[in-house]
Structure 1
Amino acid sequence: MRRICIIELLSAKMVKSFSAIREDELSNVISSIRSMRGSIVNISEKMFWFTNSVSCRASFGKICKDRNEFITIVKGVLSLIGGFDVADMFPSWKLLHNISGVKSRLDIFLAGTETSSATIIWALAEMIKNPNVLAKAQSEVRQVFKGKKKYDEEDLEKLTYLNLVVKEALRLHPRVPLIGPRECREQADISGYTIPLKIRVLINAWALARDPGCWDDPESFMPERFENSSIDFTGNYFDFIPFGAGRRMCQGMSFGLANVTHALAQLLFTLTGSSLMELIQKNLDMTNIWITATKKNDLLLVATNHSSNEVF
């Protein structure tokens, strides 16, 4: 199943072919927001629906008929992830995993929906918190998209600074804070600690990405730290592993990044910075749910009337 997903859904060629789906679903999101002028818009919910629709259409060619029920289930699974599962206490007892049913629910749709939407929200929240970053990213997007009714993959590749923003958002808010578990194939000694053979370990990607010994001013959101840097997502730089590393790193990396970059670019193109800035004091709680690193409270914006080519 893993091999089929990689070839038929997650390869670079297939991810590029889904561009029309992403554009169509983003158009639906923008139209929905435009219809809500004067009202509070739950951007977190909109992005959740967007990433879910893209995942379903890419997999099945259409939106799930029972999408409302499915999204309710997905959100329920997310709450379970942060809770306690008795099967975790006895990992070798396969019967417990079958009874609990938790493991069977964590599929590609959960990963494709929640991880991408949460990254979009964290990137937006951090840009709102850092107006200079917001202005720079928005200026780049509007310059690249200027005079165009539609944009393509080549246009997105020109968004150098926006890609730095995504990297920095994933550094501060990795989608999987704890990577693993992994079983040691041989005994190892690390920093004075002996890791026995066959012991299961978790990698704290969140702590690595905020280690002051590896990063300058690690708690600050500074996309510029990645300028002229060879650090990427491929897992070769172990202080920055938002998608894991090695043979078991996330195979949906390209699919997720495409959804994130497309959505942020379109939102920055249509949002007005002034309306975003109005929410700094009103709705910028940066508290997260630790185990899933999801923003605790939804990001809400207020749709107001502006020029015809802008939403807020």
Structure 2
Amino acid sequence: MKIKPGNIRSYFRKEYIWQALLTFVLLTFGSTLAAFSYVVFQVPFNIVAGGLSGLSIVINHYTGWPVGLMYWVMNMPLLILGFYYLGRWRFVMRTLFAATIFATATDLFHFYLPQIMSSFPLTSDLLLSSVYGGIVGGISAGLVYRSGSTFGGTGIIGRVIQQRTGLPLSQSYFFTDGAIIVLAGVVFGWEVALYGLLVLFLSGLASDYTLEGPSSTRVAMIITDYPQEMSQALMQWLNRGVSYWPVTGGYTGSGHYLVMCTIYRPQVNDVKRIVGEVDPHAFLTIGVGHQAVGEGFGAFRPQVASLRRK
């Protein structure tokens, strides 16, 4: 069935139910795998790699409260904050789903796995736990990103800081996660905190490559005959700026339009879906953006911006 240009409300059509189901299966699997890695490789050794999951380990050390439940409770106000500042209802609902699955699986694993692991232990080595915790945790995070979601937590704080201050997203995450790792160093010792930094580094690499390369931004180049419909769809559903201009095919000599949009890596699959719905005959290329500076991304340096005013 051919879809009319501009009509992109795919979640209300029967032919897209299967696609939505696959998305949530991926989201569930990624969240469950992340919980397994967290319980097996981090919690037993108090390895804190930032985030609310790391803060939960610190609180559990003093209170004994379930780490999964604490993670979920602390996530709720941050989800409200994310909806207020980021204004993406679908993103917030997916993140709530991922956080709920992660928290539930974490407490279930934390209750049952020690009984199983006592008979079939994996490792008691801090270095091996850090390496595999970072790799497996990063892969699971990449799977969740591919479904268009995150685990919430300090990731939401980082996005809000980035939006309000113009700091690059990587620096925002560094401040939020770094503060929690420093706290873990005070509580558990600086050697354990160094292992936490190793987990954080490896998980970042693993999630990047699981998703689609090491860069946090992507540049979508779309050749289409429906530039206005394509631009409206991308702006409406991704909240990203779009530019387009006429181009000529070198082989056929026919005229088309080139639509360009810079996005974050979790939005790659959304771009593919939108382009396929608006114009099934479009040609899409997604490249790596090594750095994005400007509206919606990082801010220009003040001394550079001042040159334009002069």
Query: If the length of structure 1 is used for normalisation, what is the TM-score?
Result: 0.27
> Who wins on radius of gyration, i.e. which is larger?
2
Higher helix fraction (1 or 2): 2
**Structure with bigger RCO (C-alpha 8 Å, 6+ apart):** 1
